[in-house]
Chains A and B, each alone.
Chain A
């Protein structure tokens, strides 16, 4: 029995340790941020605006996805929108953050806690909040909820919930066109984090944009993971996928792989001059290390900050956003970044394509 206990202990501890490892990537930055606030040892992500805001404007509740503030991408973009709203409307705010692998009940409890304290609107950052919002919203009819990338999981419509989606395919179309205009080898690549419908939307737009410029262009496509969400936090996998493409003759690689993109940038930098990568979600030129910056052609912008800000503004204006809203090119919900100035010479062409889309050109959502 004693031996059994010991072996069992070791294996259980190992199992828990493994679980801990996978957690680290996702949540360490958020934890660091909260630690730095109290100890002031690192001034990396800085204090949240929510701790100092004391205006008499709206009370905004923001529920982050796994990763939280400080992820330099999705969640940070929502925070940027919040910061702007606090500035403009004298808002106060509260931030909650999801833990990896937490049950539905924990997400619901987070939203309920904010609702009980009178926060309005309450924005869930990420599609994982769709079900929790659907469960909580009917109990708080006077409070408006928003879910970034969200959807209504059942047939009963909620008249106090906004589902804030993006036309990622349209933004991807523009960076696809940029890649096709810039390539010297008529050969480009795409690295997706996880082979899901959402990421296929990026791929479809990118390929369509590239083919619009040059219908014979060769596009390599690789997904890091088939279904495991770890594909969004796997820089080594991103690097391997992108390096293979540069080796085979591609000179521009677009990634839609969240945190794995760091590996794609690394691969472009190591591949040398004339090799490019394209960022995603936020303007990744601005957060990349200096040696990688000369290789970041542009980034596809998904303006989570605009959606968050608009949601708050609609409450201030007394005309809350409800139901499905798609942030597309026409509403500046998606676009491309110009930092670094590498696409300045083709900006005329890109604006032309953008006008076509705004004029009604259908960009495919699936490859």
Chain B
């Protein structure tokens, strides 16, 4: 019988190999050298970039977890993107307003961000349970509305900075220094990146060790069985969706509260969009499991950060080619899991047959 661990590792490795081959093909097609390309991509990053990878990975991890909470019960929350945009705006406005002193301000902003994310996610959840609207459609639409809404609020109530608008910058007392693993000039791991660790642990604990987590998984695997065991599916949909939105609300906060010279506020250029979609891909890659999502986040963050080195190394490809690599990984991993799953099933069947045959032989001997 094929051990579970082997099949769990085999599929991602196959997917990565396929992604390397296909990306190399694209690199050759646009006329650059794939050897140079991978030399740059796979080189060890500078200290500064090691920290950037960790920071980016923490945000991607939060996003992946937000998506995974929904996926665990067959809810496709494609709206993580809009949820964290709205939540980030709310948190930035509140934190910039400095209504509370120092640490209290940060805690209140985090809670508000979670509430805002949950509220934005509650809209498709309520629409689904009361009107039967597919959450895939409504969350995608709400993503577009979130862009419009935050943009409208920003351009009407935001602070003017030259010809752009932003929320009021955070006061120094509300910024967090982070963990300087190397020299000062290399920057720091953002303090709130720790949120990723906390959320990752809670996610594992709630899903695997609580009644709620069991109900959630049960609803995802077999809805009628869950109903039979007394689970209210409607309540589960709303709760899971709001939980997903609350986690989504945290995504951009590590960046917002980090002490940097590049803007502690929400504006069109500082806010990092797109993390919501990356999270969906990473949740898929990590099979909705915290360790898998963590590894996937590190991989995606690593690829993204390394691609910034391409133009300096004189590799004549756009750094957008990394999007191809990431996309191919997601596609191939689905195929690879399917293939490995079939191998495993076949191997299991053979093992069962062998055991049965052995048993039958034994009985014959005994007779």
Interface residues of A (CB under 8 A from B): 1-2, 4-9, 11-13, 15-16, 19-20, 23, 27, 30-31, 34-35, 37-39, 95-97, 99, 101, 103-106, 108-110, 112-113, 117, 127-128, 130-132, 134-135, 138-139, 149-151, 153-154, 163, 165, 195-198, 201, 226-229
Contact between chains at B169 and A34 (CB < 8 Å): no
Write out the residue numbers on chain B whose beta carbons fall within 8 Å of the beta carbon of A23.
320, 323
Indicate with 1 or 0, residue by residue over B316-327, a CB within 8 angstroms of chain A CB atoms: 111110010011
Q: Shortest beta-carbon distance, A278 to chain B, in Å?
A: 21
Is B4 on the interface with A (CB-CB < 8 A)?
no
Is B177 on the interface with A (CB-CB < 8 A)?
no
Q: Shortest beta-carbon distance, B182 to chain A, in Å?
A: 14
24 contacts between A and B (CB under 8 A): A8-B280, A9-B330, A11-B76, A11-B136, A13-B327, A16-B277, A16-B326, A23-B323, A38-B31, A99-B320, A101-B273, A105-B56, A106-B308, A109-B308, A110-B311, A113-B312, A127-B269, A151-B161, A151-B164, A153-B166, A197-B165, A201-B163, A228-B147, A229-B268
Closest to B271 in A: A104
CA distance A63 to B181 in the complex (A): 29
Closest 8 CB pairs of A and B: A227-B151, A38-B31, A151-B162, A198-B163, A135-B262, A128-B269, A135-B261, A131-B263
CA distance A38 to B164 in the complex (A): 38
Contact between chains at A38 and B30 (CB < 8 Å): yes
* Cβ contact of B164, chosen from A104, A113, A127, cutoff 8 A: A127
Considering the complex, which residues of chain B in the window 44-76 have a beta carbon less than 8 Å from any beta carbon of chain A?
A: 48-49, 52, 55-56, 71, 74, 76
Write out the residue numbers on chain A whose beta carbons fall within 8 Å of the beta carbon of B262.
104, 108, 131-132, 134-135, 153
Chain A interface secondary structure, helix, strand, loop or mixed? helix
CA distance A210 to B241 in the complex (A): 53
Write out the residue numbers on chain B whose beta carbons fall within 8 Å of the beta carbon of A229.
268
With A196-B164, A228-B147 as given contacts, are A37 and B316 in contact (CB-CB < 8 Å)?
yes
Contact between chains at B164 and A12 (CB < 8 Å): no
Considering the complex, which residues of chain B in the window 102-138 have a beta carbon less than 8 Å from any beta carbon of chain A?
A: 136
The interface centre, meaning the residue of A20, A23, A153 with most chain B CB atoms within 10 A of its CB, is A153
Write out the residue numbers on chain B whose beta carbons fall within 8 Å of the beta carbon of A196.
155, 163-165
Q: Shortest beta-carbon distance, A167 to chain B, in Å?
A: 11
Contact between chains at A20 and B269 (CB < 8 Å): no
The interface centre, meaning the residue of B261, B270, B330 with most chain A CB atoms within 10 A of its CB, is B261
Write out the residue numbers on chain A whose beta carbons fall within 8 Å of the beta carbon of B221.
1
Closest to A98 in B: B319
Contact between chains at B311 and A149 (CB < 8 Å): no
Is B226 on the interface with A (CB-CB < 8 A)?
no
Q: Shortest beta-carbon distance, B133 to chain A, in Å?
A: 16
Indicate with 1 or 0, residue by residue over B243-271, a CB within 8 angstroms of chain A CB atoms: 00000000000010000111101001110
